[in-house]
Structure formats: structure tokens, C-alpha cells
Amino acid sequence: MDLWTENRPETCSALGLDCGSCIHAAAACTARICHGLESHGIQQIFFQLYPSTGCKPMAQAFELAYRESSITQTPRVAFASAAA
């Protein structure tokens, strides 16, 4: 089984993965990388990560986990503007 080509709940379950912990971990990682996304952006990332229609019901849980993780995360990259 290959999670890159068979990314759906049945495949993950067969490998011992559960949707809740997978979604939470991915959302927390996304919050660290892409801090401050609005709802539409969060949903876009979710559907790019989890294109299977079987994963669609977890979109709201992903957004909630992202928002919870965003509260505790601070951006780790500081951008500097170039002096003229």
C-alpha cells in the first residue's frame, strides 16, 4: 500500500492510522508553516493533502485543529525588508 497514491481512510486504517490523530498532526504542522490562514485557505490545504472523498468529513476537524494549534504557535520565520 502506498499512501501517496491510495490516500483514503481504508488504506490508512489498514496501516493502523486513525483519521483523528492524522488530521490533528497535519493541522498542527500546517499551522507552524502557514500561520494565520483564513477558512478558505485552510480548506484548500486540507483538500490538497486529503483528496479522497472519504476524507471530506474530516475537513471541519482539520480546520478546528489548525485554529487550536495556531493559538499556541508563533511564526518562526522573521522577514526583513530591504533598506533603500
A 10 A CB-CB count for 9 gives 18
Q: What is the pLDDT of residue 19?
A: 84
Residue 67 forms part of a structural domain: yes
Residuewise pLDDT in 10s, the chain (84 residues): 455 556 677 777 787 878 888 899 999 999 999 888 999 999 999 999 988 888 899 999 999 999 999 887 555 555 555 555
Residue 61 forms part of a structural domain: yes
Which range marks the domain in which residue 24 is found?
Answer: 18-72
Residue 1 forms part of a structural domain: no
Q: What is the pLDDT of residue 11?
A: 75
30 within 8 A of 66, measured Cβ to Cβ: yes
A 10 A CB-CB count for 80 gives 5
DSSP codes of every residue in 15-36:
TT--HHHHHHHHHHHHHHHSTT
* Number of domains, the chain: 1
